[in-house]
Amino acid sequence: MKMRAENDSLADYLTQELSPAQRSHIGLISFNQWPFALGAVCETALAARDIGSDVTVALWSGKTPLYDTGWRSHRTLARLLGSRTRDHNAQRALLAAGLPKEAFSGPPLRRWRPQEPLPTPTNTRRDTIRALTYRGSGMGRSILQVHPDANTPIRDDYEWPARYLNEAMRSYAWAYDQAYELIQQRQLTTVVVYNGRFTHDRAVAAAADALGAKTLYYDTGGYQTDFDLTTADTHDWQHLQQRMLKMSDEWGHDGDELGSKWFTDRREHTDRNNAIFTSEQEIGNLPDLPESGTLVVFFSSSGDEIAELEIDWDSYFQSQENALRSLAQICRQRTDTTLVVRTHPHMRLKPTDDLKRWTESVEGITPDMHFGPESSIDSYGLMQRADVVFTYGSTSGIEAAFLGRPSVVMGPSAYDTLGCVRRITNFDEINECIDTPPPTAPERAIPFGLMMQRRGFTYGHGHKDADETPVIAGIRLDEANELVRKVSSYLKQRQLDRLRD
């Protein structure tokens, strides 16, 4: 029996969400070789074909000046060594499913040069990069989503390698110009891209917008579904919450059980998707906490995940550090209040400079207790002991709400309109939330868990094997063999090393 997902049929979804004109010519432009992403490309292309759309598929992984963040294997090298890349297998699967050869398109501009001069910034700081544009589109933020290396900090005064920045701008411009030309040549009315945040995908979305074409975004699905596809940007959290509420209403009691399980699995450390955060923690391990007075616990967020969101930071205390500083100031004025800070466990995997600056900031703020990302203290046990939980948008905010703890969110989040947390925007509201903790409504947190479990779609033209590899039209979307992957990884690293010099 097919597992129930948020949406039962991708074909029906496309018919409902797109006008006849928008679904007449649908194009999918892909730059990465992640399995779920190419599975989504195949499934969407075939669903579009099924509803009568003229389908174009552009598998451009490895063709961009700067290798895409999701590029894994060199297609020509794989062919020479008797192997196939994942996107090559995706093309074979689509052909086997009946898509004509004419549906596939390479980059249309063979002798490409930027259609307008690229910017020449006076420096390579993050705040300068953020303002960069190309053909009227916001190029800078998309470049900042893909770092030169794993230790690139998110602070604005950090100087990015000039060579890397220049190549990233060329790569954005290449993707924009090629997509712009393809949309015109194929008369595309809807363009489908991955996520929409990263350099090349953002460029395609910007080109589509300039030409008046509709854009759809695919991404990872829920824990138990195959992929997501939406008409809204990935970080349109208001739209996401509307989906949560709609889904919860439609699923009723079955949704309540499934959504609740998402929370309990995380609390009990049985959620393998959350293991990266809880692997160092011991269930029930708590510090000596005061038996009287008010215990306030602040759970931090990963700053790099929200740094480039196009939002008004003035409504979020300007920054996470300032939000915590404001909370600590209030707590110090109260003789019966203890402030505990729990740094997000993911920070131990983030750039060294980011963790160092955050730790120094917390130490300067001087809470009563601070547990770093490596601490074995049980976050969920700490959450349950808190009289009030504050967060800057971390998932901990809604997890606390599910546990029946008063929860206050001070930053951007994907759950602040569900009715289970209180969002605050100014200093005066902090005291109010400690004096009179927000009412709890655990049941209103459940739609979030349901969405995390069954968001998006399951395959209609294939399935996933036991190892999670998509199988479309009987063809596994395997990646190239180990030798090809190793040589390709070497080539990508050489490019990055050269651009960082």
**Following DSSP, what letter does each residue of 182-204 receive, concatenated?**
HHHHHT-SEEEEESS-SHHHHHH
Give the alpha-carbon dihedral of 442, 447, 451, 452, to 10 degrees: 0
pLDDT digits (tens, 9 = 90+) for 69-110: 999 999 999 999 999 999 999 999 999 999 999 999 999 999
Q: Do residues 372 and 349 make contact, with C-beta atoms less than 8 angstroms apart?
A: no
The phi and psi torsions of 190 (rounded to 5 degrees) equal -140, 135
pLDDT for 233: 84
Domain 243-452 CATH superfamily: Glycogen Phosphorylase B; (3.40.50.2000)
Is residue 308 scored above 90 in pLDDT?
no
Mean pLDDT of 417-424: 97
Is residue 310 scored above 80 in pLDDT?
no
Helix 35-50 and helix 10-17, axial crossing angle in degrees, nearest 10: 70
Compute the distance between CA of residue 196 and CA of residue 239 in angstroms, rounded to an integer. Answer: 15
In sequence order, the 6+-apart residues with CB closer than 8 A to the CB of 242 are none
Compute the distance between CA of residue 290 and CA of residue 284 in angstroms, rounded to an integer. Answer: 16
Which part of the chain has CATH 3.40.50.2000? 243-452
The phi and psi torsions of 177 (rounded to 5 degrees) equal -65, -40
Is residue 304 scored above 80 in pLDDT?
no
Helix 427-435 and helix 320-332, axial crossing angle in degrees, nearest 10: 50
Three-state DSSP at 125 gives strand
Indicate the helix (H) or strand (E) that contains 179: helix 162-186
Mean pLDDT of 136-165: 94
pLDDT for 58: 98
pLDDT digits (tens, 9 = 90+) for 360-373: 999 999 999 999 99
pLDDT for 235: 81
Is residue 2 scored above 80 in pLDDT?
no
pLDDT for 1: 65
Compute the distance between CA of residue 475 and CA of residue 278 in angstroms, rounded to an integer. Answer: 36
Instruction: Please list the residues that pair with 26 across neighbouring strands.
Output: 55, 190
Compute the distance between CA of residue 8 and CA of residue 148 in angstroms, rounded to an integer. Answer: 40
Indicate the helix (H) or strand (E) that contains 434: helix 427-435
Instruction: Please list the residues that pair with 133 across neighbouring strands.
Output: 138
Percentage of the chain lying above the pLDDT 70 cut: 99
pLDDT digits (tens, 9 = 90+) for 431-455: 999 999 999 999 999 999 999 999 9
pLDDT digits (tens, 9 = 90+) for 52-68: 999 999 999 999 999 99
Mean pLDDT of 209-231: 97
**Per-residue b or e along 95-120, where b marks 16 or more CB atoms closer than 10 Å to that residue's CB:** eebebeeebbbebbeeeeeeeeeebe
pTM listed for this prediction: 0.94
Average pLDDT in the chain? 95
Q: Do residues 365 and 357 make contact, with C-beta atoms less than 8 angstroms apart?
A: no
pLDDT digits (tens, 9 = 90+) for 318-359: 999 999 999 999 999 999 999 999 999 988 888 899 999 999
pLDDT digits (tens, 9 = 90+) for 452-485: 999 999 999 999 999 999 999 999 999 999 999 9
Instruction: Please list the residues that pair with 470 across neighbouring strands.
Output: 464
pLDDT band per the 50, 70, 90 thresholds, residue 305: low
- Strands 388-391 and 190-194 turn out to be unpaired
pLDDT digits (tens, 9 = 90+) for 239-282: 999 999 999 999 999 999 999 999 999 999 999 888 888 888 99
Q: Do residues 119 and 133 make contact, with C-beta atoms less than 8 angstroms apart?
A: yes
Three-state DSSP at 401 gives helix
Compute the distance between CA of residue 391 and CA of residue 441 in angstroms, rounded to an integer. Answer: 17
Here the tokens at position 259 are: 């959504």
Compute the distance between CA of residue 390 and CA of residue 380 in angstroms, rounded to an integer. Answer: 14
Instruction: Please list the residues that pair with 227 across neighbouring strands.
Output: 457
